[in-house]
Amino acid sequence: MSDASRLICFNKPYGVLSQFTPEGRWRGLKDFIDVPGVYVAGRLDADSEGLLLLTNDGQLQARISDPRHKMEKTYWVQVEGEPDDAALAALCAGVTLNDGPTRPARAQRIPVPAQLWERDPPVRFRQSIPTSWLELVIREGRNRQVRRMTAAVGFPTLRLIRAAIGPYALEGLAPGNWRG
């Protein structure tokens, strides 16, 4: 194998951990990626989907995952309810969570993402409560931060998909597939 730096973009499905080894009911990355010497750069919860980056380059891994570098992370968030302008303004200003205030974010309502795939299992559906989609861009990565932010403004997250990390994006990558 060459010493060349390698970066893998992986569309992590729901129910897969950000590690190679499975645990309990969750699958591991080894079910999808058989590339020696690469490591996850930043985490994504098992119940979240979307872009996960892996690399064999320690400096690149630090640049991607270290909050000091403030690399933007873009999420598509399906929430329960229909956030109003006040909720979006609160997200943009930064909300206070139990571990302190978040940095200001960019938040906007979006239509259902065009390239969206079905989730297995499907998101719970309640006929009496509408859902809507937001695009949320943050520059930090606290534990379950996006979910806690939307809950703090009164709109719980039902589905969370990371669409991009800095210049790296899903760009039509199907769940369970990778490129790089």
Residue numbers annotated as active site:
45
Q: How far apart are CA 150 and CA 26, in angstroms?
A: 25
Distances (CA, A) of 86 to 20, 27, 92, 154, 155: 41, 39, 10, 11, 12
Of 14, 43, 12, the C-alpha closest to 29 is 12
DSSP label at residue 121: S
Phi, psi of 30, rounded to the nearest 5 degrees = -60, -20
- Beta strands of the chain (E only): which ranges? 7-12, 39-41, 49-55, 73-80, 96-97, 100-101, 106-110, 131-138, 157-165, 168-169, 178-179
Judge contact between 29 and 10, C-beta under 8 A.
yes
